[in-house]
């Protein structure tokens, strides 16, 4: 799968954010780490299986380079496992084996990298427009040896020509459901699905934007609860099936923020 845009070097990103990321020993000494809390080990083992060591390595990348480069907030590092990694891992129950996945506004790789870690047979494209995030994603994919994962530096709404036939499109804390549907459904095949990770606002968003979802070619939005038998707080996901092809929605310039994911990853 091709990569859009030329990624800057790590040194260029370091100059951009004014941090000495090339001094890895300095970063490792000062950055927090994210050990797996004992009380979460059973859930992590169940969700990641024999891929758990790779998930641990990804957690370390998030808690060190991710924090140093501003992709993860320092206060999020101690709770990476429950709020982020396990939260995203539970999504795997909605993603079939061998599925092609496009993760929109991938940020630090949540949930795209997590889905690829759990099932290496999945083909995953991480779509992220911001350079420093795209560089982190590329380096992390290489570090974890995720051979079926591609980083695409682009906006979702500009990527229709690259995809348009994914089995699943994922997004986590990117935008309200109406804009998200306009950006993401054109990247899925007819019959494919948008899985939007949401929080307490899920029911309100479905009620508010149901009509917009239908106009954009989506089915009736369904709220799913993932990991209910594993996690203390299940992951809330809004599922929308692409029921028909319609002309791609291109939001007004002031709203074109797909991929503008929150800095916590």
Q: From CA 258, how far away is CA 242, in angstroms rounded?
A: 19
124: left (phi over 0), alpha (psi -120 to 50) or beta: beta
pLDDT tens, position by position, 203-229? 999 999 999 999 999 999 999 999 999
Tokens of 179: 């804009």
pLDDT tens, position by position, 78-121? 899 999 999 999 999 999 999 999 999 999 999 999 999 999 99
Tokens of 6: 């030329």
Measured at the CA of 211, the angle between CA 208 and CA 213, to 5 degrees, comes to 95
Length of the chain, please?
265
| pLDDT reported for residue 248 | 55
Q: From CA 230, how far away is CA 142, in angstroms rounded?
A: 30
| pLDDT reported for residue 22 | 36
Give domain limits for the chain: 10-254
| pLDDT reported for residue 138 | 98
| pLDDT reported for residue 20 | 33
Tokens 């991480």 appear where?
126
Tokens of 212: 């917009």
My answer on whether omega of the bond before 16 falls inside 30° of 0, hence cis, is no
pTM: 0.82
CA 171 to chain centre: 6
Measured at the CA of 220, the angle between CA 217 and CA 225, to 5 degrees, comes to 125
Other CB atoms within a 10 A radius of the CB of residue 145 amount to 9
Domain 10-254 listed as CATH 3.20.20.70: no
Q: From CA 83, how far away is CA 200, in angstroms rounded?
A: 14
Low-confidence ranges of the chain (pLDDT < 70): 1-32, 164, 248-265
| pLDDT reported for residue 33 | 80
| pLDDT reported for residue 16 | 35
């Amino acid at each position: 799968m091709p990569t859009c845009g030329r990624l800057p070097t790590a040194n260029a990103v370091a100059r951009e954010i004014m941090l000495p990321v090339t001094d890895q020993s300095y970063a490792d000494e000062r950055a927090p780490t994210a050990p797996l809390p004992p009380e979460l080990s059973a859930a992590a083992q169940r969700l990641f299986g024999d891929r758990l060591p790779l998930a641990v390595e990804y957690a370390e990348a998030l808690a060190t380079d991710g924090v140093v480069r501003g992709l993860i907030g320092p206060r999020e590092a101690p709770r990476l496992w429950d709020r982020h990694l396990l939260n995203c891992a539970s999504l795997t129950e909605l993603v079939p084996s061998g599925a092609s996945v496009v993760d929109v506004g991938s940020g630090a790789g949540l949930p795209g990298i997590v889905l690829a870690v759990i099932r290496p047979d999945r083909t995953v494209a991480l779509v992220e427009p911001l350079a420093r995030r795209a560089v982190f994603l590329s380096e992390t994919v290489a570090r974890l040896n995720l051979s079926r994962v591609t980083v695409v530096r682009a906006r979702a709404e500009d990527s229709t020509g690259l995809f348009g036939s994914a089995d699943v499109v994922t997004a986590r804390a990117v935008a309200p459901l109406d804009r998200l549907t306009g950006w993401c459904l054109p990247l899925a095949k007819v019959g494919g699905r948008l899985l939007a990770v949401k929080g307490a606002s899920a029911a309100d968003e479905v009620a508010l934007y149901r009509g917009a979802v239908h106009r954009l070619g989506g089915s009736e939005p369904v709220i799913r609860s993932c990991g209910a038998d594993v996690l203390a707080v299940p992951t809330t996901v809004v599922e929308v099936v692409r029921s028909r092809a319609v002309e791609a929605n291109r939001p007004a310039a002031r709203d074109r923020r797909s991929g503008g994911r929150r800095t916590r990853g």
